[in-house]
Structure 1
Amino acid sequence: MTIEININDLIRTRMTEIAEAAWRNHRVLPTADGEGRVLQIGSAATVERWVCGADHGSGVCGEALLTHRQAAELLGMFNVDEPVLDPQLPVTDVDLLDEGVGGFTCGSLYHLSDVRREFEKAQG
């Protein structure tokens, strides 16, 4: 008996499971392909992949969330353990598809305002 597994279906299923858990546990939503906003800090830009749907005390947040890699790239840092040293809003840990390792790894999501604040601190 041969069992065929389509890797694309497996990845799509896992990404759906991650999205459902992120919403259920943290009120975080992934953006649909091609629907994310372009986020710019200084001369660097990236595309929104996650958005915060949590209420931090003043209504639904709606702020873009950046992966560790996106935050580091916008801040001009690569391979940095913590691109945002003192986040004001909760950092969310979710599984992310990491092309560098060829699979899913735990990653952090940072609010755009915290990344922007870190950029402004570095600018002096």
Structure 2
Amino acid sequence: MATITLNDLIENRLSEIAEDAWENHRVINITGDNGRVLPLGTASVWERWRCEADHGFGPCHEPLLTLDQAATLVGQPVDFSLVAPAMGAIEMTVLDQEFGFQLTELYHLSDVTQEYRKAQG
């Protein structure tokens, strides 16, 4: 009889989340060193998700940022939100290092960049 470890359960849950994100939103999970560094202002974050949905012009290929990543890049506290993102937010469950599995929203980098420009005046 095989023993199931906590790591196995977490890995299975992450696989389910990635499959759901692809099937429902055409969002792919970027694993390992396949992501990009996404700088904005004086901060940067690592790409973990990418949009492959067709918004009318073919596959998007734009990085998607969690709300915490967006807050970091815009220089706002983590409880901020993008008011009216042009591309809309995608609700996702992600694995947070401190809090475990958490519901968050993913935003296109272009929406976060626009929010940053507004904050700069």
Distance in 2 (CA, whole Å) between partners of 1:28 and 1:11 is 20
Match of 1:93 among 91, 94, 97: 91
Aligned partners of 2:71 and 2:80 also within 8 Å = no
Distance in 2 (CA, whole Å) between partners of 1:37 and 1:99 is 20
Q: Which amino acid aligns with 1:64?
A: P
CA RMSD of aligned residues (A): 1.5
Match for residue 69 of structure 1? 68
How many pairs are equivalent? Answer: 121
Any idea what the Cα deviations from partners look like across 1:82-116, whole Å, max 9, x if unmatched? 1x111000211111112222x21211100000000
Quote the sequence identity (%): 48
**Do residues 110 (structure 1) and 107 (structure 2) align?**
yes
Distance in 1 (CA, whole Å) between partners of 2:79 and 2:93 is 19
Q: TM-score when scaled to structure 1?
A: 0.91
Distance in 2 (CA, whole Å) between partners of 1:32 and 1:99 is 16
Distance in 1 (CA, whole Å) between partners of 2:102 and 2:58 is 31
Which protein is richer in helix relative to its size? 2
Match for residue 58 of structure 2? 59
- Residues 1-124 of structure 1 mapped to structure 2, 5 A cutoff: 4-82=3-81, 84-101=82-99, 103-124=100-121
Q: For residue 4 of structure 1, report the CA deviation from its aligned partner.
A: 4.3
Distance in 2 (CA, whole Å) between partners of 1:20 and 1:28 is 9
Q: Which amino acid aligns with 1:119?
A: Y
Q: For residue 35 of structure 1, report the CA deviation from its aligned partner.
A: 1.1
Stretches of structure 2 that go unaligned for 5 or more consecutive residues are: none
Distance in 2 (CA, whole Å) between partners of 1:40 and 1:79 is 18
Q: For residue 61 of structure 1, report the CA deviation from its aligned partner.
A: 0.4
Structure 1 consecutive aligned stretches of length 4 or more whose deviation exceeds 2 Å? none
Distance in 2 (CA, whole Å) between partners of 1:79 and 1:42 is 17
